[in-house]
Chain A
Amino acid sequence: MSSALSFRTRPAKSKGFQSTRKRPVWEEKPSVVGQTAKGATLTLVVLFVVVPVYAVVLTSLSPQSSVNIAGGIVLVPHGLTLNAYREMLQGGVITRAMVISMIITIIGTIVSMIVSVLCAYGLSRPRSLGHRWILMTLIATMFFSGGIIPSFIVVADIFHGYDQYWALILPGAVSAFNILIIRAFYMNTANELIEAAKLDGASEFRILWSVVLPTSKAVNAVMALFYAVGYWSAFFNVMLYMPADSSKWTLQYVLYTYVSQGATMPGQNAATAFAGKDQPAPLSLQMCVVVLTLIPILVIYPFVQKHFTKGMLTGAIKG
């Protein structure tokens, strides 16, 4: 940790964090001990994240025999098999849960993004009628909430959302925080462009679609990821609104029930688990569910990850 500080040879506002820096001439040379300690710490941090994910993925791919050898979670592969996935995707609760989760995530993200982008743009033009009031109305929701019970009553009793899929989407469709970030980003869109479009007779929708959206891909991508992850990760709303009917469960709730709480998976019991050699271990099946919840995130993450700093910070850390 010798160079706990680094010294920038670049202006603070450049995209500098992406570029490799050179050690400035005036800076003292790092000590070997310090460099080693720093490297070890960072390696440890990375391993903390990587090892559990690796172990879970490997266990889901391992046959019964390697699970037995390892006595549980597998760290060293002894042969790989896709049996657990084959069994899992044959149909039944888990396959259906995955499809339901996918559909809810896709529809929810589309709804959230449309609503948030429209609202953010509508509030982003300076000095428009009433925008401060609307903004205040949104911001207030960040500081006070009625709590779980009134929300449940409103959704379940007033809007009759019990056992309805929309109850998993609409109540959380709008995040005031996300709208504020998008709005702050849009306010940085060059005003000359908007003015020019206006002079050409473009409507507000046209300006949003052709001028603002194309110039704010970073924030749009990051916000879409946030919303998508929110829908994909939600499990409590299923517990609230449709706990009884396992045919309506989402993948996270399946994960909660069968893996976290250890309920026996449908079609799985001691007899079938040890019936044949090809039968995947119960642990592999559980880890298979874990991996299924991981895959969409791991697939989308790399594409959006590069936008994080720009998308988040232009909005959040401003003013």
Chain B
Amino acid sequence: MSAISVRGGTATTEAGPGADADETGRRRVRTKRPKLPFRVRLRRDWPLLAMAIPALLLVIAFNYLPMFGTVTAFEYYDYILGFWQSTWIGIENFQALFADPNFWHAFENTIVLSVVQLVLYFPVPIGLAILLNSVLNSRIRSFIQAIVYLPHFFSWVLVIVLFQQMLGGAGLLNHLLLTHGMNAWNIMTDPGSFKYLVTAQAVWKEAGWGIIVFLAAIAAIDPALYEAAAADGANRWRRTWHITLPGMRSVIVLLLVLRLGNALNVGFEQFLIQRNAVGSGASEVLDTYSYYYGVAANNFGLGAAAGLFKGVVSLLLLYGANKVAHFFGEDGLYRGTK
């Protein structure tokens, strides 16, 4: 399974769109058609191209222009002069960046948070999906699904406000602790436990939604396998271990690849919002570093350098994770054209 199938249904022969009526026909041996000249294809396909143009323009303006805008990382950026005329200072920004202990601290925080989230967050949706799948009653099942999907649609501000009200200094938990004669513990402002707090928030917000792909993977497992295993004397746990989990394997590997590739994306708004409460020591990650040193402290070159560093390392991580997936015989995120 691959997440992005560019090849799906786009064979190499040059027939008209839909001329080869069935989509699944791509596995068929095809007779080679003569390639139509460019002008004929343009006359035939221009409405389709025209449809793609608005999206393409937006992507060029707001995704590609910023990519070229990373030249700011090599400049002393002055907004009056813009990209083109600002003074080119080479790798000075990077020298300043790598000499800044705050940057390395943000980098370290990012990695630590990523590992904590991988260990504590990743297994939750898998377990929840298996558990939910075992509920036989469809009413109960869809009710639980509807409830656990919901927090995915809440904004980070909302999620954090809810956590504040439940666990914060004036929140429910501390009220209960105090009225029962225990010491208050303000989790929301405790830098020591912050990494577990943000992971708990991520689990609360996204783990429910995360089960949707795992449920689909479980649903695709051939039920006859379970019956055969039961006939051979495998109990529930053995069947889960030997049938359900292997059935989910490719989805798990794919999501793991994505998670590793996104190791530096631990969440941005979540940290921005809580930075005042716990301080920058615990909450500074690469993205907030880039924002605070760039936009807020007006050192655009340094901020852009941090952003570019993160972008390049992320790309390498994704590439590496995908290679690992191939090594284990899975498709991972993409596979070169066969």
Contact = CB atoms under 8 A, between A and B. Distances in A.
Contacts of B213: 313, 316-317
A314 to B, nearest CB: 10
B290 A127 contact: no
A146 B308 CA distance: 6
Contacts of B153: 225, 229, 233, 297, 301
Contacts of A152: 294-295
Interface stretch (A18-26, A84-92, A213-221): A18-26
Contacts of B69: 146, 149-151, 153-154
A241 B207 CA distance: 31
B223 A7 contact: yes
Interface stretch (B7-15, B98-106, B113-121, B190-198): B7-15
Given A119-B56, A127-B15, A139-B6, A153 B161 contact: no
B216 A313 contact: yes
Contact of B132 (A42, A137, A256): A42
Interface in A172-198: 172-174, 176, 179-180, 184, 187-188, 191-192, 194-195, 198
Contact of A20 (B133, B136, B219, B273): B136
Interface stretch (A9-17, A264-272, A273-281): A9-17
A290 interface: yes
A141 B219 contact: no
A123 interface: yes
A3 to B, nearest CB: 5
Interface-central residue, A24, A45, A150, A174, by most chain B CB under 10 Å = A150
Nearest to B312: A144
Interface in B200-219: 204, 208, 212-213, 215-217, 219
A164 to B, nearest CB: 14
B276 A149 contact: no
A71 interface: yes
Contacts of A180: 4
Interface in B65-84: 65-70, 72, 77, 79, 82-83
Contact of A195 (B8, B18, B82, B251): B18
A235 interface: yes
B212 to A, nearest CB: 6
Report the interface size class on chain A: 35 or more
B165 A52 contact: yes
A49 B208 contact: yes
B134 A4 contact: yes
Given A73-B172, A119-B56, A154-B69, A126 B154 contact: no
B307 A150 contact: yes
B156 A17 contact: no
Nearest to B56: A134
A48 B203 CA distance: 11
Q: Which 4 A-B pairs have the closest CB atoms?
A: A147-B307, A150-B69, A122-B51, A233-B155
Interface of B: 1-11, 13-23, 38, 41-42, 44-45, 47-52, 54-56, 58-59, 61-70, 72, 77, 79, 82-83, 128, 130-139, 141-142, 144, 146-151, 153-158, 160-166, 170-172, 175, 179, 204, 208, 212-213, 215-217, 219-223, 226-227, 230-231, 235-237, 239-240, 243-244, 251, 261, 268-269, 272-273, 276, 287, 290-291, 294-295, 300, 303-304, 306-308, 310-311, 314-315, 318
6 contacts: A28-B235, A52-B162, A125-B48, A146-B66, A147-B311, A149-B295
